Amino acid sequence: MLSTEKITNAFKAICEEAERLKNQDDPDQLQAGLSMIVSIAKHQNDIRNSANGSCTAHSKKQQ
């Protein structure tokens, strides 16, 4: 189970990303931001500063 701090930080990150996107006119930036929000929600952690490819959960085979 995740710590309360990680979940709190994830919600904060989601809110920050959503606020940033509210005034976004560029569709590509909007899609990238929405993708980030979905990733944060799925990981339940603020992953915005993680290196690309650092999450191994997506590389596991579905069984």
The 10s digit of each residue's pLDDT in 23-50 is 889 999 999 999 999 988 888 888 888 8
Inside any domain, residue 53:
no
Inside any domain, residue 52:
no
Global confidence as pTM: 0.70
Compute CA distances 36 → 1, 43, 44, whole Å.
22, 11, 12
Inside any domain, residue 39:
yes
Inside any domain, residue 50:
no
> Which two three-digit tokens encode residue 19?
């606020």
Residue 62 predicted with pLDDT over 50: no
Inside any domain, residue 23:
yes
Determine the structural domain holding residue 13 and report its residue range: 4-43
Inside any domain, residue 49:
no
Inside any domain, residue 57:
no
> Which two three-digit tokens encode residue 28?
């590509």
Number of structural domains the chain divides into: 1
